[in-house]
Amino acid sequence: MSVLEILAHRGEAGVSEVAADIGVHKSTAFRLLGALEDRELVEQTQERGKDRLGFGSTPRPAALLAYMTPEHRREVLHTSGFTRLTRRTITSPGELNAQFEKAIRDGYACSVEELEDGLNAIAAPIRDHTGEVLAALSVSGPV
């Protein structure tokens, strides 16, 4: 969670920056980032050696929206490579933007069989008294 929070606040960071922020050796930070990349929670930027938040295995949860920078959100909306996983997977940038707006307005996001047939999910950020996101909660289960 600390690595994800660092990337959320900075937008992107290198291994050295992550290591310094969480107080571990660079090799440990490298392994942590690698594990997060394997789960698609973190992705490499086009600038070599930098990482940023990724989309992970849950489609567009409110938690990720809360962490996402406006620049990253625009980039996602203009990405042409939306992959359809089920008949309900959102692949239209316009429809995805509408979901972003709804999640921000409502304070939570839902996924109805977008990732896998028969699987629904709901996610929401957990905020402190100032409104800053401290953590997130996501729950998924069968339809």
Spell out the domain ranges in the chain. Answer: 2-53, 62-142
**Domain 2-53 fold:** Arc Repressor Mutant, subunit A (1.10.10)
The string of pLDDT tens digits covering residues 37-95 is 888 888 888 777 899 887 664 445 455 665 666 777 777 666 646 677 889 988 888 88
pLDDT of residue 57: 44
The string of pLDDT tens digits covering residues 88-112 is 988 888 888 888 888 888 989 898 9
> What's the CATH number for 62-142?
3.30.450.40
pLDDT of residue 24: 93
d(CA 112, CA 81): 21
Which residues lie below 8 Å from residue 136, measured CB to CB, with a gap of 6+?
Answer: 61, 62, 63, 64, 66, 123, 124, 125, 126
Same fold for the pair 2-53 and 62-142: no
Q: Is the pLDDT reported for residue 27 higher than 90?
A: yes
Supply the pTM of this predicted model.
Answer: 0.52
